[in-house]
Amino acid sequence: MAGSTKKSQAGLDKEANRRHKSRTMKLFSGSAHPKLAQDIASELGMNLADVRVEAFPDGETAVKINENIRGQNVFLIQPTSPPSNHNLMELFIMVDAARRASAQQITAVIPFFGYARQDRKDQPRVPITAKLVANLLTAAGVNRVLTVDLHAAQIQGFFDIPVDHLYAAPVLIRYLRDKGVESNLTVVSPDVGGVKMARAYAEALGADLAIVAKHRVSATEVEAVNVIGDVCGRDVLLVDDMTETAGTLTAAARILKQQGAGRIYAGVTHAVLTELSHNRLAESVIEELICTDTVPMANGPKVKPLRIAPLLAAAIERINNAESVTSLFKI
């Protein structure tokens, strides 16, 4: 009898907690990745808030929030993946709608932060577009940003508002351990800029570290130059924050195989895949591309998308409850 009472009370407490969250927090989805937004809502035991996002005949975006959000913590879930400009503009408009509806705090949940590669002036007379996007988000009314694996961590400094920068490494590492690829493994960075991320994976998996030096021929073509480290007879995990054309990964895999590598896997956070990248992966020596589902195009042959919703849901819940999210940053 006592056990039954405890179970009933636990059920009541869970329901009360769900209702409390629904009163204090609202989750909205843009059109960029509704499946991910629904997955996050399910993890939190909530429903997505009612919002209408549609296009006028001339292509302009129209947004209408169909429920009261006055005094609520609002989380707008919208990766700015392709079509990047459309998804960004839609996010700005949703933020403005929420601000004018008297939301207490607006958090832009941007699992994939577009324009992150334009983070510095690498040529004369070019913009720093990542900084521009940060300014526009703040001007629109965003109070906080939640994102995953920025292309360059220092982009956080482009914002004058809090940025919670999560890492997908724990999600990928858990899968790799379950797959049993830890033994005889070398983690490889496909370029010098990714060494820090590769080292973190290598330390977590107890693996060796190697680097592929590359030369970029064009926006879609990369030429691998040399391998720094020993990969002969070893399985390899290529790690990067994102891939779009798969040029860097497939070129690196080719030279690693020439150096005597065994099975070759690739692990990226954001798989912004195109027809070109699918063709390259199909023809490459990469056995599997392991990624998260931060963007809707993370799927296809040789592609293994892992759920990022549990990580984002945990962060959203902690932000809403004014709790620390530091433990979620750890790899």
Q: How far apart are CA 235 and CA 254, in angstroms?
A: 14
In 10 A of CB 250, how many CB atoms? 25
Does a cis peptide bond (omega within 30 degrees of 0) precede residue 83? yes
Q: Which residues have C-beta within 8 Å of that of residue 281, sequence separation ≥ 6?
A: 246, 250, 289, 300, 301, 302, 303
Q: Which residues have C-beta within 8 Å of that of residue 308, sequence separation ≥ 6?
A: 36, 111, 148, 168, 171, 292, 293, 294
The pair of structure tokens assigned to 65 is 């929030």
DSSP H or E run through 54: strand 51-55
CA dihedral in degrees (329, 250, 178, 168; nearest 10)? 10
Query: Which residues are catalytic, by number?
Result: 214
Picking from 153, 263, 259, the residue whose alpha carbon sits closest to that of residue 210 is 259
Q: Are 19 and 12 in contact (CB under 8 A)?
A: no
Q: Hey, what amino acid is at 274?
A: T
Neighbour-count burial of 209, counting CB atoms closer than 10 A to its CB (0-12 exposed, 13-18 middle, 19+ buried):
middle
